Amino acid sequence: MNALPFARHFGLLALALATLNPALAESPGLLPALNIDLTQTTVSGISSGAFMAVQFGVAHSASVRGIAATAGGPYFCAGKDAWAGAGVGKAIARCMQGDPAYPARPITPADLDDMTAAARAWAVRGLIDPLANLARQRLWLFHGSNDGIVKQPVNAALDQWFAGFAPASQRFTQDSFNAGHAQISAACVGSACQPCAKTGGDFINACSANAEGAPYDAAGAALQMFYGPLVRTASDALGSKAQAFDQRIHTRRAGAAIAPLKISMAEQGYVYVPKDCADGAACRLHIAFHGCQQQAELLGEAFVNKAGFNEWADANRVVVLYPQAAAAVAPPLTPLNPQGCWDWWGYNDFGWDMVGHYATAGGDQIASVWSMAERLAGGSGGATPTVVAGVPELRAADRADNQIVLTWQAMPGATAYRLQRDGGVVAEIAADSLPSWVDNGLQPDTAYTYRLLGIDAGGQEIPHANTLIVQTSKAPAACDPYFSLAQNRPVTRKNRPTRKTCP
């Protein structure tokens, strides 16, 4: 969670009180009703948005097929401390671990068991979708070595939590970059994007993917792991533009309408609709959650236009929803959330008799965003989105020092797939699974050769279009960064300011 001292945000009090009255703001347009298959929804988020993406993906696992989390933690990480946000200090110590003012509390196996037990109990009660759905989800994680806000052990705990539901072939962690606490994007280049190691600003950074300086594309890596090979549109050639929409008609508490700021959400959000989708083509939905201090009320449309998702959505019939949280500083009229974070520690749960309500499908923000998704799918004709032609090859969607994400388009006539690495069979894959595979246990800085074969109904092999050679990255440097929320800057373990970064 990126943070500034709370005191800096009390200047927003007048704005917060004014926006409690919806009549004071001119309404943007309504979300369009499109032909969207919600069963192919994917979600992503950075920081508090990563926690929200996990919560949303677990609560609606019947529809969500992939979760991408940058600097996030496991489901219901705040645990029993999440009641009315009262235990936020304990939640910071356990679920962020990087501020010396809140000495780190490791996420123990017992903690993970408690999180799982809560999820299982809620699933039995119908408060979230059945957890069996998690077995088909893909999980893509990112953590930068200069991220001292949400530390690496928290990110690792998220992977450990999902390991109880989904196999290693569906979980990937990208930790090869010296990135700060930020969304890593290929859509902002040059002076428009911050250097890789920085934490702060608009929290949107550029990192080099190779020695030639090609930008690493986090959005493309995640979306291709979820959907298969896609075509990227250049930022200056997009066929559409993100549009604002009215969030006020979607914000919910216990099924009833509520003013957005009372649940720390903004009056308007944004949506990117590719031209094909606007014209009625069957499409898919990706929901991108910003992080703290990335909300539009503070940064305008920076995250909407620079996070990198629109470029991959444009030619591939993927609608991108950018819901917006808002800073709230006027308890008891609003929760106390001065940094515009998504609710992952229970600040909206005051008055509820169930700890963790915010993390269920009925939680205020999750229910509100789901209402937006249902509205977007309101024009669905029941058609299944088709794969955009032109990318038939076996492709590496991402690579780390010990993992490679392979992805492909379905082969006509194939009832199963056989994946080979260096001439040996790595896996037999069912044809009805998602078109990606995470190869694990690899050596750093090593080249591997892959070949994918389709198997038809008669057991005959169908060769794929290409053989693929992929080299793993070098092992990341050992780093131990820290970040003071009160000072809003990197610090040492002893809470002293520092400018040092990991190489």
One digit per residue, pLDDT tens: the chain, 503 residues?
A: 543 333 333 333 333 333 433 333 456 899 999 999 999 999 999 999 999 999 999 999 999 999 999 999 999 999 988 877 778 999 999 999 999 999 999 999 999 999 999 999 999 999 999 999 999 999 999 999 999 999 999 999 999 999 999 999 999 999 999 999 999 999 986 677 899 999 999 999 999 988 778 999 999 999 999 999 999 999 999 999 999 999 999 999 999 999 999 999 999 999 999 999 999 999 999 999 999 999 999 999 999 999 999 999 999 999 999 999 999 999 989 999 999 999 999 999 976 667 899 999 999 999 999 999 999 999 877 667 765 544 557 999 999 999 999 999 888 888 999 999 999 999 999 888 788 999 999 999 999 999 999 899 999 988 766 789 999 999 998 999 999 999 999 999 999 999 999 98
Tokens read off for 320: 């991108």
Angle 48-59/364-376 helices, nearest 10 degrees?
Answer: 70
Distance of CA 211 to the CA centre of its chain: 27
Euclidean distance between CA atoms 342 and 85, whole angstroms: 12
Fold of 395-471: Immunoglobulin-like (2.60.40)
Half-sphere exposure of 134 (CA within 13 A, CB side): 26
Sheet holding 424-430, edge to edge: 424-430, 416-421, 447-455, 461-471
Euclidean distance between CA atoms 9 and 338, whole angstroms: 6
Task: Provide the residue ranges of all domains of the chain, joining segments of one domain with +.
Answer: 6-382, 395-471
The partner residues of 14 in beta bridges, in order of sequence, read none
Half-sphere exposure of 202 (CA within 13 A, CB side): 24
Select from 52, 45, 37 the least CA-distant residue to 69. Answer: 45
What are the φ/ψ torsions at residue 123 (nearest 5 degrees)?
-65, -40
